[in-house]
Homo-oligomer: A and B are copies of this chain.
């Protein structure tokens, strides 16, 4: 079989680098190009530690090469995806966008949460939200996939089955989450310096994080009713990983057995979900460097606590993007990931 030709725009960010590595190892993919302003002209092998004859190219060289590709990934800032998404879509290539640019169906949410007017509403309408464990059928054969955010992946996977099964009160959902520093991207700012982050812990963008409307959109879609949650992200003194702790009131008489059964029913055959039973058994250390999401939940008859953990750069970005590519191009979903 001919390998599928894939390109990566924005290959020197943390997610872009992980993505490049996955694609270089993927048995059905041939990496056609990877762009990087920072590393332009340098060998891809040197940065990834993997075999490759290619060097990083400029974005424009990447876009020029895209027309000979079957799939292009955008691991770019949201504003860049807004410009590049339509250009690449126009070439007929399948696009998987890792930014938030095409995730929110309501374009009016972009100015308050992303600080730009959305200039591509048609493509936004067509884009498929690529959270395979919840919306697999839509991703199959999709031409433009909006890859979910890291927090929304963890948060939604932990509680979606409980909402779907009608076990919890949708109005009572509260999500707290904590992320490693790589979630902030590769930036030389003092805020993410070792001196600021080590031995510290704090919340950030309380009540206004851009992932809040994304989580709400996903859970509302799953629950069939508005889920007006509150979401508080925190910064952990670790490099990688997200742990999401969701709480909600349970409906009368709901037991831990029912809660854990709902997760088992939803995720029984899922290759990228690990069911841990008790929420205390879900640990960041067990998901880092893996493409998996671990989930666990329990109730005391009053509230449920549902916890999920992912590697923010893998299931929260790069490996999920490859799950989506596999589904979009008709390959087996776990190919190149397990």
How far is the CB of A256 from the nearest CB of chain B, in Å?
9
Assembled-state Cα–Cα distance A200/B289 (Å): 13
Decide yes or no whether A108 CB sits under 8 A from chain B.
no
A265 within 8 A of B: no
Q: How large is the interface on A (under 10, 10 to 19, 20 to 34, 35 or more residues)?
A: 35 or more
Contact at A245–B237, with CB atoms within 8 Å? no
Q: How far is the CB of A249 from chain B (nearest CB, A)?
A: 9
Check A321 for interface membership: any CB of B closer than 8 A: no
Residue from the list B192, B201, B288 in contact with A236, Cβ < 8 A: B201
Cross-chain contact B201 with A199 (CB below 8 angstroms) = no
Cβ proximity bits A218-235 to B, threshold 8 Å, 1 near / 0 not: 000000000010101010
Q: Is the C-beta of A125 less than 8 angstroms from some C-beta in chain B?
A: no
Selected A-B contacts with CB under 8 Å, 19 pairs:
A176-B176, A176-B245, A176-B247, A181-B198, A186-B195, A193-B193, A194-B198, A194-B237, A198-B198, A199-B288, A200-B283, A200-B284, A201-B243, A201-B284, A203-B280, A203-B305, A206-B278, A206-B298, A236-B236
- Indicate if the CB atoms of A285 and B207 lie closer than 8 Å: no
- Report A277-295 residues with CB < 8 Å from chain B CB: 278-280, 282-285, 288-290
CB closest residue in chain B, given A241: B201
Q: A193-B193, A232-B279 are in contact. List 7 more A-B contacts (CB 8 A).
A: A14-B195, A194-B194, A200-B283, A202-B283, A206-B298, A236-B236, A237-B237
List B contacts of A232 (CB < 8 A): 176, 245, 247, 279, 305
Q: Is the CB of B203 within 8 A of A181?
A: no
Do B186 and A230 touch across chains, with their CB atoms under 8 A apart? no
Is residue A172 within 8 Å, beta carbon to beta carbon, of the partner chain? yes
Given A202-B283, A238-B200: A230 and B193 interface contact (C-beta under 8 Å): no
